[in-house]
Amino acid sequence: MSEKILDGKKLADLLNAQLKKKINQSFNKTKIQPILATILVGQDPASKVYVNIKHKTCADIGINSVMVDLDETISKKHLLQKIEEINNDEKIHGILLQLPLPQSLRGDTEEFLERISYVKDVDGFHPINRGRLFDYHEELSACTPKGIVKLLTHYNIELAGKHVVIVNRSNLVGKPLVFMLLKRNATVTVCHSYTRTLENITQQADILVVGVGKAKFITKEMIKEGAIIIDVGTNRLDGKLCGDVDFNNVFEKCGLITPVPGGVGPLTVSFLLQNTYYAYKNQLNL
């Protein structure tokens, strides 16, 4: 069983341990610790869980983190002011605005992301960092796609010439992943909710990346024999965390597969920390 598993948790542990050493070395030189500020607006329970995981992993590897907890009634003007304040705080090297924002602010999400200083933008959502990715510069780019590419390369999965089908076109996952895969010479097809006869396309994938947010969405009829499956989805089913792929159903037929939990999730957090360290080094000219 385990030889078919792409173990994201194990890889994330390895990357985090390596990063911890680098941070320690940088601290010994500068006596300055990297600091990540996370801005959480409102009390969304899932967002709180994600932010707490990020803070705990930061603490484990030597990044200080500050939680900026804001009431969900905060006005647009005050949230923009808060972002500006953190931008101007030289002690803080990375800023993360936890999404989704409460309904009243959601329509302005892009404006808030744009206001975060692009040198502190550890999520890679600022238009400058998105634009740089267009030219294949990945330094401060989205964490989940970075984690997916690292997982594939870590397991020596050749990307050049492979047909990768991504079922997701969000700014968080599908769109940045397209550029990372093109950079590595894959042939990329992107599917979304308007795609017709989805299974005809997913069946052609050498590598299938799925992030639709629907449990058991991908079944064995939708994949090619031996396909590599990357399951980005995080859903709750019968009180348990599960992905978008019907894991037991596809397991025999697929070549390799990420589990949920323990696949893409831990790598997303790991790359948030890598990005924070990059931002810190960049700001300190290390």
Ligand X SMILES: NC(=O)c1ccc[n+]([C@@H]2O[C@H](COP(=O)([O-])OP(=O)(O)OC[C@H]3O[C@@H](n4cnc5c(N)ncnc54)[C@H](OP(=O)(O)O)[C@@H]3O)[C@@H](O)[C@H]2O)c1
Catalytic residues: 54, 98, 123
Q: Measured at the alpha carbon of residue 134, what is the angle toward residues 267 and 107, in degrees to the nearest 5?
A: 75
Collapsed DSSP state (helix, strand, coil) of residue 36: strand
Task: Give the distance from CA 244 to its chain's centroid.
Answer: 16
Collapsed DSSP state (helix, strand, coil) of residue 236: strand
What are the C-alpha distances in Å from 229 to residues 36, 59, 193, 220, 264? 32, 32, 19, 11, 11
> How do the residues of the chain divide into helix, strand and coil, expressed in percent and rounded to 5?
45, 15, 40
Measured from the CB atom, the residue of 42 and 211 that comes closer to ligand X is 211
Measured from the CB atom, the residue of 117 and 144 that comes closer to ligand X is 144
Residue 208 has phi, psi (to 5 degrees) of -115, 120
Using CB under 6 A as the binding rule, whether residue 62 contacts ligand X is answered as no
Task: Report the residue from 58, 96, 113, 173 that binds ligand X according to the rule CB under 6 A.
Answer: 173
Could you say which residues in the range 106-145 bind ligand X, by CB under 6 A? Answer: 144
- Sheet strands side by side (includes 94-97): 64-70, 35-41, 94-97
Minimum CB separation from ligand X for residue 118, in Å? Answer: 21
Instruction: Write each residue from 176 to 215 as x if it is in contact with ligand X (CB under 6 A), else as -, in one continuous string.
Output: ---------------xxxxx--x------------xxx--
Minimum CB separation from ligand X for residue 210, in Å? Answer: 8
Segment near ligand X (CB under 6 A), from 27-35, 78-86, 128-136, 162-170?
162-170
Task: Report the residue from 26, 38, 98, 168 that binds ligand X according to the rule CB under 6 A.
Answer: 168
Residues forming contacts to ligand X in the complex (CB under 6 A) are 144, 167-170, 172-174, 191-195, 198, 211-213, 232-235, 264-265, 268
